[in-house]
Amino acid sequence: MENLNLFIRSIFVDNMIFAYFLGMCSFLAVSKNVKTAFGLGVAVSFVLIIALPVTWCINQYILVPGALSWLGEEYAETDLSFLGLIMFISVIAALVQILEMAIEKYSPSLYSSLGIFLPLIAVNCAILGAVLFMQQREFTNAWTATVYGAGSGIGWLLAITCLAAIRERLAYSQIPAPLRGIGITFIITGLMGIAFMSFLGIKL
């Protein structure tokens, strides 16, 4: 029940895009058509689902103060938490590299349609952001972390697909020249954010 609550909250209330503005760069750049946007959303969710439990274990068994005590008494005092950022970004970069190789082998068509944005998932702030939030919230076990990762990923997928659908329609509308392109996309994202705020306070 606790986990279901966390799952729903991370999709709608703590949505990565609308509540924290994470992963905006690729969100704005890849949302021109629904199909590519959906593909990227799935890839991001996938990386999140794997990255969160892995980084949770690293954080719990290597980084937090006293985490190394399983190595022996003399390590019980060690505090490696300052290494967090470097460890997390390397794990994420490695995962993205593996994902890229897997997609290239098993689904060449998706691979060519995602193009440059596949390796760029490594620097998608939504992923590092979710990892850092996980560290900040101090989840008690790896399963909760996985649920949080899945929720954040699906929330991101939902947001980018919605925006892409709206932008496909926008092609036919009359927009003041200075606002065309990026300006109107910002306003739409803002309005969608306000709409998503109506989920605030949901509790299961």
Partner 1 sequence: MNVNKSLLPLINPLSKDNPVIVQVLGICSALAVTAKLEPALVMTISVTAVLALANVIISLLRNTIPTSIRIIVQLVVVAALVVIVDQVLKAWNYEVSKALSVFIGLIITNCIIMGRLEAFAMSNRPWASFLDGIGNGLGYGIILVIVAFFRELLGSGTLFGCQVIPQWCYEHGYQNNGMMILPPMALITVACIIWVHRSRNKDLQE
Q: Which of residues 5-24 bind partner 1 (CB under 8 A)?
A: 18-24
Length of the chain: 204
Does the footprint of partner 1 cover residue 184 (CB under 8 A)? yes
Residue whose CB is less far from partner 1, 1 or 177: 177
Region of 55-63, 65-73, 127-135, 162-170 interacting with partner 1 (CB under 8 A): 127-135
Which string of x and - marks every residue 51-70 that binds partner 1 (by CB under 8 A)?
--------------------
Helix, strand, coil percent values for the chain (each to nearest 5) = 80, 0, 20
Between the CA of residue 108 and those of 33, 71, 104, 179, what are the distances in Å? Answer: 19, 44, 5, 37
Contact with partner 1 (CB under 8 A) among 124, 146, 152, 161: 124
Question: Residue type at 97?
Answer: Q
Does the footprint of partner 1 cover residue 193 (CB under 8 A)? yes
Q: Is the dihedral of CA 124, 47, 44, 10 positive or negative?
A: negative
Nearest alpha carbon to residue 11 among 185, 163, 130: 130
The footprint of partner 1 (CB under 8 A) covers: 18-25, 28-29, 82-86, 89-90, 93, 119, 122-125, 127-129, 132-133, 136, 176-184, 186-187, 189-194, 197
